[in-house]
Amino acid sequence: MDIDTRAYFTAATIIIGIPTGGLTGVRLSNASLDLLLHDTYYVVGHFHFVLSFSFNTIIQKTQFNLIFIGANLTFIPQHFLGLNGIPRRYVDYRDIYSFIHILSSLGSLLSLTSNRHTITNNRIITSPEILTNYPITEHTCTQRPTLSTQ
Protein backbone atom coordinates (compact mmCIF):
# COMPACT_ATOMS: atom_id res chain seq x y z
CA MET A 1 0.00 0.00 0.00
CA ASP A 2 1.43 3.36 -0.94
CA ILE A 3 2.10 6.13 1.56
CA ASP A 4 -0.92 8.23 0.56
CA THR A 5 -3.38 5.38 1.09
CA ARG A 6 -1.82 4.48 4.43
CA ALA A 7 -1.99 8.11 5.49
CA TYR A 8 -5.65 8.28 4.46
CA PHE A 9 -6.66 5.21 6.47
CA THR A 10 -4.64 6.34 9.48
CA ALA A 11 -6.19 9.80 9.37
CA ALA A 12 -9.70 8.38 8.95
CA THR A 13 -9.23 6.10 11.94
CA ILE A 14 -7.78 8.87 14.09
CA ILE A 15 -10.45 11.40 13.13
CA ILE A 16 -13.23 9.00 14.06
CA GLY A 17 -11.62 6.96 16.84
CA ILE A 18 -9.94 9.53 19.06
CA PRO A 19 -12.88 11.92 19.45
CA THR A 20 -15.25 9.02 20.11
CA GLY A 21 -12.96 7.40 22.66
CA GLY A 22 -11.99 10.74 24.15
CA LEU A 23 -15.54 11.99 24.51
CA THR A 24 -16.75 8.78 26.11
CA GLY A 25 -13.73 8.83 28.44
CA VAL A 26 -14.47 12.40 29.52
CA ARG A 27 -17.98 11.34 30.43
CA LEU A 28 -16.63 8.47 32.50
CA SER A 29 -14.25 10.77 34.37
CA ASN A 30 -17.24 12.58 35.88
CA ALA A 31 -17.79 10.89 39.25
CA SER A 32 -21.58 11.22 39.27
CA LEU A 33 -21.92 9.79 35.76
CA ASP A 34 -19.42 7.06 36.56
CA LEU A 35 -21.65 5.90 39.41
CA LEU A 36 -24.60 5.64 37.02
CA LEU A 37 -22.69 4.04 34.14
CA HIS A 38 -20.53 1.68 36.20
CA ASP A 39 -21.24 -2.00 35.36
CA THR A 40 -23.16 -1.08 32.21
CA TYR A 41 -22.41 -1.79 28.57
CA TYR A 42 -21.34 1.85 28.20
CA VAL A 43 -18.05 1.05 29.95
CA VAL A 44 -17.56 -2.04 27.76
CA GLY A 45 -18.17 -0.02 24.61
CA HIS A 46 -15.76 2.72 25.69
CA PHE A 47 -13.00 0.30 26.71
CA HIS A 48 -13.09 -1.71 23.49
CA PHE A 49 -13.45 1.33 21.26
CA VAL A 50 -10.43 3.06 22.77
CA LEU A 51 -8.14 -0.01 22.75
CA SER A 52 -9.01 -1.05 19.35
CA PHE A 53 -3.76 -4.79 11.06
CA SER A 54 0.79 -7.48 4.99
CA PHE A 55 -2.06 -7.88 2.55
CA ASN A 56 -2.41 -6.75 -1.01
CA THR A 57 -4.34 -3.53 -1.48
CA ILE A 58 -7.76 -5.03 -2.19
CA ILE A 59 -7.64 -7.46 0.73
CA GLN A 60 -6.22 -4.79 3.01
CA LYS A 61 -8.98 -2.30 2.24
CA THR A 62 -11.62 -5.00 2.56
CA GLN A 63 -10.17 -6.11 5.91
CA PHE A 64 -10.05 -2.52 7.16
CA ASN A 65 -13.67 -1.86 6.19
CA LEU A 66 -14.96 -5.12 7.67
CA ILE A 67 -13.11 -4.64 10.95
CA PHE A 68 -14.13 -0.98 11.13
CA ILE A 69 -17.80 -1.76 10.50
CA GLY A 70 -17.74 -4.85 12.73
CA ALA A 71 -16.09 -3.12 15.70
CA ASN A 72 -18.37 -0.11 15.49
CA LEU A 73 -21.43 -2.32 15.04
CA THR A 74 -20.37 -4.30 18.11
CA PHE A 75 -19.50 -1.58 20.59
CA ILE A 76 -21.48 1.55 19.65
CA PRO A 77 -24.84 -0.14 20.41
CA GLN A 78 -23.44 -0.98 23.85
CA HIS A 79 -23.17 2.74 24.56
CA PHE A 80 -26.91 3.05 23.97
CA LEU A 81 -27.64 0.02 26.13
CA GLY A 82 -25.53 1.46 28.94
CA LEU A 83 -27.21 4.85 28.73
CA ASN A 84 -30.56 3.06 29.03
CA GLY A 85 -29.39 1.44 32.26
CA ILE A 86 -28.80 -2.11 31.06
CA PRO A 87 -26.26 -3.67 33.45
CA ARG A 88 -23.47 -5.92 32.23
CA ARG A 89 -23.54 -9.71 32.55
CA TYR A 90 -27.34 -9.95 32.61
CA VAL A 91 -28.95 -12.77 30.68
CA ASP A 92 -32.51 -11.47 30.81
CA TYR A 93 -33.55 -8.00 29.70
CA ARG A 94 -36.61 -6.27 28.28
CA ASP A 95 -37.61 -7.27 24.75
CA ILE A 96 -37.39 -3.68 23.56
CA TYR A 97 -33.58 -3.99 23.64
CA SER A 98 -33.43 -7.24 21.65
CA PHE A 99 -32.71 -5.52 18.33
CA ILE A 100 -29.75 -3.60 19.79
CA HIS A 101 -28.33 -6.81 21.29
CA ILE A 102 -28.75 -8.62 17.95
CA LEU A 103 -27.05 -5.72 16.15
CA SER A 104 -24.12 -5.91 18.57
CA SER A 105 -23.89 -9.69 18.11
CA LEU A 106 -23.92 -9.35 14.31
CA GLY A 107 -21.06 -6.85 14.55
CA SER A 108 -18.98 -9.29 16.58
CA LEU A 109 -19.71 -12.08 14.08
CA LEU A 110 -18.65 -9.79 11.24
CA SER A 111 -15.38 -9.02 13.03
CA LEU A 112 -14.76 -12.70 13.77
CA THR A 113 -15.44 -13.92 10.23
CA SER A 114 -13.43 -11.12 8.64
CA ASN A 115 -10.40 -12.20 10.70
CA ARG A 116 -10.73 -15.87 9.74
CA HIS A 117 -8.20 -15.64 6.89
CA THR A 118 -5.68 -13.87 9.09
CA ILE A 119 -6.03 -16.33 11.95
CA THR A 120 -5.94 -19.51 9.83
CA ASN A 121 -3.18 -18.43 7.43
CA ASN A 122 -0.75 -21.37 7.38
CA ARG A 123 1.49 -20.20 4.56
CA ILE A 124 5.23 -19.99 5.09
CA ILE A 125 6.31 -16.54 6.17
CA THR A 126 8.81 -15.19 3.68
CA SER A 127 10.13 -12.04 5.23
CA PRO A 128 13.76 -11.23 5.98
CA GLU A 129 12.95 -10.61 9.64
CA ILE A 130 12.22 -14.31 10.18
CA LEU A 131 15.69 -15.29 8.93
CA THR A 132 17.49 -12.95 11.32
CA ASN A 133 18.75 -14.18 14.67
CA TYR A 134 17.82 -12.19 17.74
CA PRO A 135 19.40 -10.22 19.28
CA ILE A 136 20.87 -8.80 16.12
CA THR A 137 24.60 -8.21 16.21
CA GLU A 138 26.21 -5.47 14.21
CA HIS A 139 27.20 -6.29 10.62
CA THR A 140 25.55 -9.71 10.74
CA CYS A 141 24.71 -10.05 7.04
CA THR A 142 27.45 -9.70 4.46
CA GLN A 143 24.89 -10.09 1.68
CA ARG A 144 21.14 -9.83 1.37
CA PRO A 145 19.33 -13.13 2.19
CA THR A 146 17.60 -14.97 -0.65
CA LEU A 147 13.96 -15.91 -0.12
CA SER A 148 12.05 -18.72 -1.80
CA THR A 149 8.55 -20.14 -1.40
CA GLN A 150 9.48 -23.82 -1.69
pTM for this predicted structure:
0.47
Buried b (16+ CB within 10 A) or exposed e, 83-97: eeebeeeeeeeeeee
Q: Is the residue at 150 inside a domain? A: no
- Looking at residue 53, what is its pLDDT? 39
Looking at residue 80, the DSSP 8-state letter turns out to be H
Quote helix, strand, coil % in the chain, to nearest 5: 65, 0, 35
Amino acid at 9: F
Interval 19-41: pLDDT, tens: 766 666 767 777 777 777 777 77
What does the alpha-carbon distance between residue 79 and residue 46 come to, in Å, rounded to a whole number?
Answer: 7
- pLDDT tier at 9 (50, 70, 90 boundaries)? confident
Q: Is the residue at 16 inside a domain? A: yes
Interval 111-126: pLDDT, tens: 888 877 666 665 555 5
- Looking at residue 145, what is its pLDDT? 64
Q: In total, how many domains does the chain have?
A: 1
- Looking at residue 102, what is its pLDDT? 92
Q: Is the residue at 140 inside a domain? A: no
Q: Is the residue at 144 inside a domain? A: no
What does the alpha-carbon distance between residue 110 and residue 66 come to, in Å, rounded to a whole number?
Answer: 7
